[in-house]
Structure 1
Amino acid sequence: MHSTNYRRTLITVASDTRAQKGTEPPHGKGSIAERQYVLLHNREYQLTSDELIFTVYADRQGIPAQERGRALKEYYAQGRACLRSSPLAKSYGWGFHFDDDGLLALVPVDSQRYAELIEDDSVTKLPAMRSKRA
């Protein structure tokens, strides 16, 4: 089974983002950004990346709760894009911090916590994918 989980890692905002601070994505559209934000905001270190990505996928596909165990195995039977491709990190100014157990939290780019994580040599830094080609 493939995985998108990281440990002791910060996915930094994309180098080409225009976001100067962590902003909430627009509500009511059911976008991936909105769904990820709702699942993570004020719920620090409760989900893994695999859980977040699959939950958003399953919700958007309307997969019933009783079928999600099987669907999860099928979903991760092949490689999937990780949170480096998330619109939250590409467009809305949010980094993703993964703790020692692989649980994640949103970290706004304009926060003291983000600055501390950037300076922490024990934390691996991975940039979010750019929105445009160089």
Structure 2
Amino acid sequence: MKDHNHYGMFIEVSEDCPVSQAEIPKAKGDSKTVPVIHYEMIAGHPYRYTQEDVLFETYAIRNDIAEEQREAARQAFFSKGQPCLRTSSLGKRYGWGIHHNAEGKMALYAVESDEYKAFANDESIKRVKAMRASRK
């Protein structure tokens, strides 16, 4: 199975991100949105989860997959291509950079923080921008 994680990489906010200070995504009604799930997993547990963990757990929560079915569902989920977190609203809309350490585990950094600026200027890691929200 293909490895969908990133290692030693920093995803900067997109060029057209509308905020200059990071915002915490809010749930809409009773259901958690994808950005809320991403934020809660990564911000609540820095450097605990990989991109694969976050992508699959989001899918499992939103599709109400039972715990005993998750291993098979995870295999099926990653058997086809999945978008990476460069497409996440965290970097496109909410102002969060995502750092992937050498083990592929992630943490969030607010665009206005000193830590964000340090990662954005760190020549020793791969740096990419989150996908643009609009196609210009």
Normalising by the smaller structure, the TM-score range is: over 0.9
State the partner residue of 2:77. 75
Per-residue deviation at 1:42?
3.2
Aligned equivalents of 2:72 and 2:44: distance in 1?
Answer: 29
For 2:14, what is the secondary structure of its paired residue? coil
Show structure 1 runs of 5+ residues with no match.
none
- 2:115 maps to amino acid: R
Show structure 2 runs of 5+ residues with no match.
none
Q: How many residues align?
A: 134
Question: RMSD of aligned C-alpha atoms?
Answer: 1.0
State the partner residue of 1:13. 13
| TM-score, normalising length: structure 2 | 0.94
Equivalence map 1:60-99=2 (5 Å): 60-99=62-101
Runs (4 or more) in structure 1 with deviation over 3 Å come to none
Per-residue deviation at 1:39?
1.1
State the partner residue of 2:23. 23
| TM-score, normalising length: structure 1 | 0.96
Identity %: 30
Deviations 1:64-95 (A, max 9, x none): 01110010000000110000000111000001
Per-residue deviation at 1:55?
0.1
Per-residue deviation at 1:2?
3.1
Per-residue deviation at 1:58?
0.4
- Is 1:110 matched up with 2:119? no
